[in-house]
Amino acid sequence: MTTPQKTPEATGQVADAYRGNWVDRLAPARTRPYLRLSRADRPIGTWLLLLPCWWGLALAILADGQPRWGDLWIFIACGLGAWLMRGAGCTWNDITDRDFDGAVERTRSRPIPSGQVSTKQAAAWMLAQCLLAFAILLSFNQAAIWLGVLSLLPVAIYPFAKRFTWWPQVFLGLAFNWGALLAFAAHAGALHPASGVLYLAGISWTLFYDTIYAHQDKEDDALIGVKSTARLFAQHTPNWLRLFLWLSVALMALAIWLAMGPAATPLALGLALLAPLAMALHMLWQLRRLDIDDPAVCLHLFRANRDTGLLPLLFFAGAILA
């Protein structure tokens, strides 16, 4: 006689988390609902928030050619801050979407709609994460601190965007790529046209990967009236994704040129410009495998964007060392 398989609702697991992730296996039972609120069982979101931070730091170093030991702390602090603010942002998203989440197959096993935590407990957890992130932010210069405070605006707006626009992915991009501005300023002490263009490149990249992600929920979203670029583009999605791909690549290349300019050595500039090329090749690989009607494929390709964002960093590092 076989033992019935436990559902995500019965075990506390979230439906779209990795099976056997460290939260479900190793975390103390009382902490698991809170770690699930923070998506600690799904690290891809932390990567997607962190990578633009590291891009911004690398571009700032390439712009002035002055790497410092303090950049190591910026690098580490961005990692800690990304984990905390991604957790806080996801907790806020789950608080605002608690009624929607209960009506969607993929999200109804999340901690609030499944009854693992109350809304008040979730709000307290969100505040704790924000306070820890703010403590880290205070170690940066004044420009970066103010940018960190301003980042709360797009974070606060994003969960509501799907209610009033077909382009909520733009608002996600505004929030998730803010770190490119913050980390640039943390090194340089101020913003630069290159950092703004890099920010736009990141937003275009977010439109690419989050449209793919949104295709998982398009049927449930249609039933409950949630808007997304996946529903807007429908069968024309591949054409739109190609546009976002080339926008990302062109804007990143422009940001590199604005940061380094003709004064850079040919080797350093050439290595840096390979960054958007590598990113483009990985995004083209995703397009070749995309099936917008297969949720498993969409989730796999969405998660693959960690590597999409890591590839440019390899060439940025080479350019810094050249």
Q: What is the pLDDT along the chain (322 residues), one digit of tens a residue?
A: 333 334 344 357 766 666 778 888 888 888 888 888 888 888 899 999 999 999 999 999 999 999 999 999 999 999 999 999 999 998 998 888 787 776 677 777 788 888 888 989 999 999 999 999 999 999 999 999 999 999 999 999 988 898 899 999 999 999 999 999 999 999 999 999 999 999 999 999 999 999 999 999 888 888 888 899 999 999 999 999 999 999 999 999 999 999 998 889 999 999 999 999 999 999 999 999 999 999 999 999 999 999 999 999 999 999 999 8
Sketch out the chain's domains with CATH numbers: 19-321 (1.10.357.140)
Q: Rounded to whole angstroms, how far apart are CA atoms 152 and 113?
A: 25
Residues 6+ apart with CB under 8 A from 91: 37, 38, 122, 123, 125, 126, 129
Residue 36 pLDDT? 86
Other residues' Cβ atoms within 10 Å of the Cβ of residue 65: 12
Contact call for residues 273 and 253 (beta carbons, < 8 A): yes
Residue 163 pLDDT? 87
Tokens of 166: 């077909």
Residues 6+ apart with CB under 8 A from 153: none
Q: Rounded to whole angstroms, how far apart are CA atoms 12 and 169?
A: 28
DSSP designation for 215: G
Residues 6+ apart with CB under 8 A from 174: 154, 158, 203
What is the DSSP track for 30-80? GGHHHHHHTTTT-THHHHHHHHHHHHHHHHHHHHHT---THHHHHHHHHHH
Q: Which position has the token pair 């901690």?
A: 111
How many C-alpha atoms does 268 have within 13 Å on its Cβ side? 20
Q: Burial of 307 by CB count in 10 Å (0-12 exposed, 13-18 middle, 19+ buried)?
A: middle
Residue 6 pLDDT? 40
Q: Burial of 76 by CB count in 10 Å (0-12 exposed, 13-18 middle, 19+ buried)?
A: exposed
Return the closest-CA partner of residue 143 out of 191, 111, 212: 191
The whole-model pTM stands at: 0.90
Tokens of 115: 């009854």
Question: What is the helix (H) or strand (E) element at residue 221, kind and residue range?
Answer: helix 218-224
Residue 11 pLDDT? 58
